[in-house]
Amino acid sequence: MGEGLRPDFEPLPRHLAIIMDGNGRWARGRGLQRLKGHEAGADTVRDVVKACAEWGIPHLTLYAFSAENWTRPRSEVEGLMLFLRRFLDEREGELIEKGIHLKGLGRLQDLPAETQEALQRVERATAGGSKLTLRLALSYGGRQEILDAVAALTRRLPPGAPITEADLRAQLYDPDMPDPDLIIRTAGEMRLSNFLLWQASYAELWFTETPWPEFRRTHLLEALRDYHRRVRRFGGVPAVESHPA
Going by pLDDT thresholds of 50, 70 and 90, the confidence category of residue 245 is very low
Mean pLDDT score of the chain:
93
Strands 59-66, 100-105: parallel, antiparallel or unpaired by DSSP? Answer: unpaired
Alpha-carbon span 202 to 65, nearest angstrom: 23
Catalytic residues: 21, 69
- Strands lying side by side in the sheet with 182-185: 100-105, 132-140, 59-66, 15-19, 182-185, 204-207
Q: How far is CA 136 from the centre of its chain?
A: 6
Q: What pLDDT does 232 receive?
A: 84
Q: How many angstroms separate the CA atoms of 157 and 108, rounded? A: 25
Helices (H), the chain: 23-28, 34-55, 74-97, 113-125, 142-156, 165-169, 217-229
Q: Which residues span the domain enclosing 70?
A: 15-229
Say yes or no to pLDDT of 242 above 60.
no
In the chain the first and final C-alpha atoms are separated, in Å, by: 27
- Please report which confidence band the pLDDT of residue 240 belongs to, taking 50, 70 and 90 as the band edges: low
Query: What mean pLDDT comes out for the span 93-118?
Result: 97
Residue 5 pLDDT level (bands cut at 50, 70, 90): confident
CATH number at residue 177: 3.40.1180.10
For residue 193, is it within any domain?
A: yes
In a domain, 93, yes or no: yes
How much is the CA Rg of the chain, to the nearest whole Å? Answer: 18
Residues 122-138 have a mean pLDDT of 98
Does the structure show a pLDDT above 80 at 74? yes
> What average pLDDT does this structure show over 50-77?
96
Number of domains in the chain: 1
